[in-house]
Amino acid sequence: MDSPQISPLIIFFASIITSNMVLSNFLGMCSFISVSNEFKTASGLGKAVTLVMIFTTVINFAVYRFIVVPLELEYLRYVVFIIVIAASVQIIELAMDRFLPELHIKLGIFLPLITVNCAILGISLFMVIRDYNFIQTLLFGAGSGLGWWLAISTLAAIREKTNKSKIPQGLVGPGLTFIIIGLMALAFMGFSGIFTIQ
């Protein structure tokens, strides 16, 4: 695939819908399932993921271009990306607590959780594999974050409904959640005629 040809806008919308991180790549499943019980919390986590995705992809893009590639350390990118993510989440948290205390109260408890979210690492790795330029990377990060937010909010909203309905005993909990996720993935794939990036 000749990535530089793809318009950044297509990448942006595709990563929200057709190439949604969680529904098409099944990345970031752990928090996707465990924190989707309540709409409010799920949406909070979604926002935090979006924020961290944008920041870390940009930082990782710079680190990759200016440190990893010149030093011919491509095989180390997993290690490098993960420590960069961990460190930047720490700094983002400190800064947020200082300058945006209200936002920190809303998102603060989710930030450390996100450090180990595989979707975040996934974004950085895809950006390398697909050879995106800076603008593409930025919109890819933003789109994937928004896509993850959309997915977890939708799942949480559906689960809030199903929590109140009568469900066969054996399906209560993870069983039904997986079925819902499967159906959601199918629905999101329905858009794949419009645009696709992978």
Partner 1 sequence: MEILKTILSVTGIATVLTVLIIIAEKFLNNYGECKIDINEGEKELAVDGGSSLLTSLAANKIFIPSACGGKATCGMCKVKVVNGAGPLLPTEEPYLSPEERAAGVRLSCQVKIKNDIKISVPEELFNIREYQATITSVSEMTHDIIEYRFEFDDGEDISFKAGQYMQIESKPYGKVKEKATRAYSISSVPSDNKAFELIIRRVPGGLCTTYMHEHAKVGDKMRVTGPYGDFYTRDDSDQYIFMAGGSGLAPIKSIVMDIVEKGLDKKMIFFFGAVTKKDLYHTDFFREIEEKYPDFKYIPALSNPAPEDNWEGETGLVTDVMKRYVESGNGRHAYLCGSPGMINACIKVLTSIDFKESLIYYDKF
83 binds partner 1 (CB under 8 A): yes
100 binds partner 1 (CB under 8 A): no
Dihedral sign for Cα atoms in the order 56, 57, 60, 66: negative
Minimum CB distance to partner 1, residue 124 (Å): 14
101 binds partner 1 (CB under 8 A): yes
**Is the CB of 98 or the CB of 164 nearer to partner 1?**
98
Minimum CB distance to partner 1, residue 147 (Å): 24
Site for partner 1 in 12-51 (CB under 8 A): 41
**Is the CB of 88 or the CB of 144 nearer to partner 1?**
88
Cα(137)–Cα(30) distance, rounded to whole angstroms? 24
Residue of 7, 34, 90, 198 that binds partner 1 (CB under 8 A): 90
67 binds partner 1 (CB under 8 A): yes
Where do contacts with partner 1 occur on this chain (CB under 8 A)? 41, 63, 67, 71, 73, 76, 79-80, 83-84, 87, 90-91, 94-95, 97-98, 101, 105, 108-109
